[in-house]
Structure 1
Amino acid sequence: MKTNFLALLGSAAVVAPLALGAAGSPANAATDENPPVVVKDGTTQPVYDYAGAIRETVWVDAPDLDGDGQRERVAADIVRPKELDGSAKVPVVMDASPYYLSSGRGNEGEHKEYDANGVVEKMPLYYDNYFVPRGYAFVAVDMAGTARSTGCVDEGGVSDVESVKAVIEWLNGNATGYDADGDPVSADWSNGKTGMIGKSYDGTLANGVAATGVEGLKTIVPISAISSWYDYNRWQGAVKSNNYAGYLSSAVAANRTVPTDCSAKLNWMNANDGDESGAYTDFWAERDYRSGSHYDVGNVKASVFLVHGLQDNNVKTMNASKWWEDLEQTGVKRKMWLTRLGHVDPFDSERALWVKTLNRWFDSELMGIDNGIDREPAVSVEVGPDRWEQSKVWPIASARTMQLRLQGDGTMALGKADSGTASYINTGRVSESSAVSLADNPNRLLWTTGTTKHELRISGTPTVDIAVNHSAPVGQVSVMLVDYGTMDRVSASGDGAMNLGTESCWGAETATDDACYIDVAKRVQTSNLQVLARGWMRLDGAGDHKGTVELAANDVVVPAGHQLGLVITGSNNGVIMPDTARNPYTFDLAQTKLNLPVSGPMSGFGPGKLKVQDTENLVDGTLPTVRDLLRGLED
């Protein structure tokens, strides 16, 4: 069954193009540099013909990014309203991606499709179908080294970022573009305002380009995106997988139409990615958009609408929480959605609300329409299944740090530290589900609180201070914060989303692009526990170690009657384990504690110790398998 969204708008939204500027049309707050549009309920309406839109490809000139002595040509496929050609300039919605001819985009894995003359006739996703009829151009950029662009991929480095930046400069009149015959082409139809959007690698490119400070980039909407590639490939020195940067760079270049030998680049990446030490090196500094060697959050001028899943075990929440925190120092306009799902686009979780909100955001940032979105609470967080809370700031202002001390009897509570020690025997065979089970296990440590007297909201980044001794040349710890208690939760299976048997349509269509997409629902089920946050730390050298393990940020409500648990072990399936021997790890309890950002009564735990129960219903998931990890950012 298909539901056409355009039909739901009603006849009031359908206005003939010649009547766009009529006095009887809804008020248009856009300035003269924006195209004529019809606004209803604060959003632009679909009045331009999508089927007859101009479709073209421009190859933008970029510097030599792969070191072969030749400048790059970056392919940009464009769809824009024909009615406005030569009479008005339009803003641009852009999705730059490495996936257009490799793994595809979106839940359906769509690819770009071209006619016999090489003109794009189908764009993945709904952006062109939805926004072109509303007076926007849509530009889909093939990142250097992928699809129809020259060059080589370098997993978030200079080549990736600068190739996309060049297209924005062309749109702003500061770069050269060519048509298929090699003749120069100008973007005289563009008003120089670009908004970048995209999930995963696409959203990561938006972060990176924004961190260049390029003129003309007015807003970005990064979804499940990376802000530091070190924080994607590593966790406090713990390595996720070997030679991953080279693997991913090769994988996204699949099916490209420009034969290029990138073996030298890939070999260089494998030799310089620092897998042996897990350290933050110059390699990773180049790929750090927050405070790296080439890019910095201080350069960001574009407004940011950040979206991330709080159960994203692919691009973990550190990439969103730290980007959000650092952006606060720049003074740019910010907005954020945090969902209870994993690596999932909000189009596939909150479809109707998301599209309306995105429409309002682009209208405000690119069209200059005052629809009030900047006066609403900046942050929306799904703290439980379909339970949303709004706030001006994040973490929420009422969250305070509760220091829970770990006791020798397996409990943790406010108050005095224990002067004793606690130990486990390391092994490379402890799964996460086994580690969080309440059954006796000599290969992990578990501390639990009493029962919560009141509802508590964890908002922010938990940390664990540790003081530990081990005898391995290189050791590690894995830490998990667990909510024990039976309730309905969003599952991590399939990132918490499941496809339904219906479709809905979001935008205009043509014979080759129907703008219809599979409907998706949250996968909610009853479980008796959930891992709320995870963290790892590499411990170089035998002997005593002190440090702070940073767990993944979260924002979640823990109901009354539940208990919180802290698990420390040596092994689970999240990172490579340098120490797999049966070595003891001994913790000094006086110096080991959980720092928990909580809103609610600080002494809100009653007496009681958890009993062994069935823990097989772990729904927020064990971490991705090795196969999942190798897929990386692919959708």
Structure 2
Amino acid sequence: MSTRMRFTIWRPLATAVITLLTAAFLTPTAAHSASDAAGLSGAARESRPVYSYQNAVREAVWVDTGLDGDGDGRTDRVAVDVVRPREPAAQGRKVPVIMDASPYYSCCGRGNESQRKTYDAAGNVVRMPLFYDNYFVPRGYAFVGVDLSGTSRSDGCEDVGGRYEVQSAKAVVDWLNGRARAYTTRTGSATAKADWTNGRTGMIGKSWDGTIANAVAATGVRGLKTIVPISAISSWYDYYFAQGAPLYDSGPDRLADYVDSPESHAKCTAVQRRLVDEAPRTGDLTSLWAERDYVKNAHHVKASVFLVHGLQDLNVRTKHLGQWWDALARNGVERKIWLSQTGHVDPFDFRRATWVETLHRWFDHELLGYDNGIDREPMADIERHPDQWVTSKVWPPKGTRTATLRPAVGARPGVGALGLRKGTGTTAFTDDPGLGETDWAAQIDASTPEKAGFVTGALTRDLRLSGSSKVTVTATPTTATAHLTAVLVDVGPDVIRDYAASGEGITTLTDRTCWGESTAGDSACFKETTARTADVGQTVVSRGWADLGTYADPGKGVPLTPGKAYTITLDLAATDHVVPAGHRLALIVAGTDKDLIDPPADSPTLTLDLSRTSARVPFVGGADAFARATFGSAARTPYAGPLDGVGTPHHTYRIP
């Protein structure tokens, strides 16, 4: 692990005065002991592992949510497992909390090794999944693992991002801040107080866990100081649909069934029925989805946000990070971001040492108040090539502006040009549900019937895309239903993480490295990973989908009139990608994206009106940068090498 930066401790003025007065009355030996007890090194000035993990307090409490989701006549209690250092409480000092609220602690496990909680005979946690408790408890933090409502040892119902689930996590933050009641048992009356914490809480988690962190932050709950959402959902509608086009051939009822406990499954038929009835596969926006849209409540967020996402995450797609990031920016939320080349992967498994160090410094700054400079460092870390990272002072970078790109017909059907001048004419394609974005990209220079492709000439200089794009399409279908896909492609040879393989860009090894302290029942040692790469001839860098029937109202689809033209704008997922000089930038418009959206009832042919079709793409330097990069470029020159590209995206039943 690299040497950490030295930094000074920041405290509000009153605290600083008290500290100075206290130090004045301490002998040098006593002052040094006080510093050690606080988990600080006088040299490095960061939280250090001075507390015993072996002797940490391990306890379970059940927090009252104030809701009766399972309808049994009493308010639900959620199970909260706590691991905290013993020494601070004995010395009369309080500690901050790192919290991971999850539905997966008993059903499925957490992390690359699918770890589950284990318990001793008294019901206290022995193994807490992941490294957070092993690493941070010795450094003066408590770690809290929450079983979301209806899962594992908790009462209530799992309603997949809804009121019961969010409240089950928010109630724990309230309890940590003295505003909610907890009990020492699931059904008893003996209460438990969180008198060992100062209430300063940071939530962390990948996927569904990170989604709950987003949701709780969007309530504005007091005491939540920071969240670290990794590959997290920001709107559950956008997890299951893309502007009306359905994904994954399932709905939230299947997820609830996947994680709920047998007890809650028996009690929660009404909640489960709502997850079916109010989440129709038509893609219509309902009140159920509105309740699960956290973006609209971003103005309530008071916590800072350290967001991590894979740019090739085809499970929780980067639309989630883009719309959440933009909403947080509009509301002035303190933010930091990491963007990797991986799919749905935790940073512990693609940049381990730097991740642990950075997370440590982030929590020290946000929860302990140390002025370690992390808030003055570049906002964004971006993986350009496997294990090769760059930084950006702000994200998207200053000077990023949207350019409107126009498609134009070419010499052959479906093989057109892409530039700044308005195009004319039409081109057509026929939906083929057996093909997808990687198939289309591999055939960008071929006249194939299932896609319409538009390509620049070879770039004369690098061109950086940063942010979220939009593609407006005017299309005339031959059937009453039609789905659309738009993708941006970097055409040219490269070595990338193989995000379409089962590891989504990583390979898990057998050797282990250790991060924190271990006990007999909870090892701090985890399997190492390495980048899994692929030689490619083209890379899809952003994609978006829509049901053409939502052209007038994104919240409700209607049947189409064959032969009538419709205009719709597709939101493409956020990205940050450099198309290097010598490569080409392509826009592809097609129908069903195999394994990523479900096909429509029919397989229509769609005719595009190119004079009314365009892509609005955020470039660093805007339209001027695009013009410079394409000025003097030669006519499209297909790459003649043997590179195949990544395979079909690894498709199983997806869970966040």
Do both share a fold (TM > 0.5)? yes
Q: CA deviation at 1:412?
A: 2.6
Cα distance in 2, alignment partners of residues 192 and 352 from structure 1: 28
Q: Equivalences for 1:53-68 in 2 at 5 Å? A: 53-68=56-71
Match of 1:248 among 252, 255, 262: 255
1:82 is matched with: 86
Secondary structure of 1:85 counterpart: helix
Moved more, 531-540 or 93-102: 531-540
Q: Equivalences for 1:148-187 in 2 at 5 Å? A: 148-180=153-185, 181-187=188-194
Secondary structure of 1:188 counterpart: coil
Moved more, 423-432 or 82-91: 423-432
1:133 is matched with: 138
- Check 1:615–1:564 CA distance in 2 against 1; reply closer, same or farther (3 A cut): farther
Unaligned runs of 5+ in 2: 5-25, 550-559
Q: Is the 8 A contact 1:224 1:315 kept in 2?
A: yes
Matched, 1:521 2:514: no
Cα distance in 2, alignment partners of residues 379 and 85 from structure 1: 37
Q: CA deviation at 1:258?
A: 6.2
TM-score using structure 2 length = 0.88
- Check 1:233–1:524 CA distance in 2 against 1; reply closer, same or farther (3 A cut): same
Alpha-carbon RMSD = 2.3
1:306 is matched with: 307
Cα distance in 2, alignment partners of residues 504 and 345 from structure 1: 16
- Check 1:207–1:19 CA distance in 2 against 1; reply closer, same or farther (3 A cut): farther
Q: CA deviation at 1:614?
A: 7.0
2:99 is matched with: 94
1:274 is matched with: 280
Cα distance in 2, alignment partners of residues 616 and 479 from structure 1: 23
Cα distance in 2, alignment partners of residues 166 and 586 from structure 1: 53
Q: Is the 8 A contact 1:465 1:594 kept in 2?
A: yes
Q: Is the 8 A contact 1:98 1:202 kept in 2?
A: yes
Residues 192-236 of structure 1 deviation map (CA, whole Å, 9 limit, x = unaligned): 111100100111110000111111111111111111111111111
1:585 is matched with: 606
Q: Is the 8 A contact 1:92 1:136 kept in 2?
A: yes
Q: CA deviation at 1:414?
A: 2.8
2:592 is matched with: 571
Q: CA deviation at 1:607?
A: 1.6
Matched, 1:504 2:531: no
- Check 1:182–1:47 CA distance in 2 against 1; reply closer, same or farther (3 A cut): same
Residues 450-497 of structure 1 deviation map (CA, whole Å, 9 limit, x = unaligned): 001111111111221111111322211111211111121121122111
Q: CA deviation at 1:330?
A: 2.2
Matched, 1:406 2:407: yes
Q: Is the 8 A contact 1:151 1:260 kept in 2?
A: no
Report the residue type matching 2:619 in the other structure: V
Report the residue type matching 1:527 in the other structure: V
Matched, 1:448 2:455: yes
- Check 1:122–1:458 CA distance in 2 against 1; reply closer, same or farther (3 A cut): same
- Check 1:298–1:19 CA distance in 2 against 1; reply closer, same or farther (3 A cut): farther
Cα distance in 2, alignment partners of residues 429 and 524 from structure 1: 25
Percent identity for Structure 1 against Structure 2 = 44
Residues 4-28 of structure 1 deviation map (CA, whole Å, 9 limit, x = unaligned): x89x99xxxxxxxx99985447979
Q: Is the 8 A contact 1:95 1:197 kept in 2?
A: yes
Cα distance in 2, alignment partners of residues 163 and 37 from structure 1: 34
Q: Equivalences for 1:607-626 in 2 at 5 Å? A: 607-611=634-638, 617-619=644-646, 622-625=648-651
1:483 is matched with: 490
Secondary structure of 1:546 counterpart: strand
2:51 is matched with: 48
Q: Is the 8 A contact 1:152 1:265 kept in 2?
A: yes
Residues 518-540 of structure 1 deviation map (CA, whole Å, 9 limit, x = unaligned): 11112123211111111111112
Residues 571-595 of structure 1 deviation map (CA, whole Å, 9 limit, x = unaligned): 22211112433x3200111111222
Cα distance in 2, alignment partners of residues 97 and 262 from structure 1: 19
2:13 is matched with: none
Cα distance in 1, alignment partners of residues 137 and 401 from structure 2: 46
Moved more, 301-310 or 262-271: 262-271
1:472 is matched with: 479
Match of 2:205 among 198, 202, 211: 198
Residues 268-320 of structure 1 deviation map (CA, whole Å, 9 limit, x = unaligned): 211110312x12221110001111xxxx1111111111111111111111111
Cα distance in 1, alignment partners of residues 34 and 618 from structure 2: 46
Q: Is the 8 A contact 2:40 2:46 kept in 1?
A: no
Report the residue type matching 2:351 in the other structure: E
Matched, 1:432 2:458: no
Q: May I ask how many residue pairs the two structures share in their alignment?
A: 604
TM-score using structure 1 length = 0.91
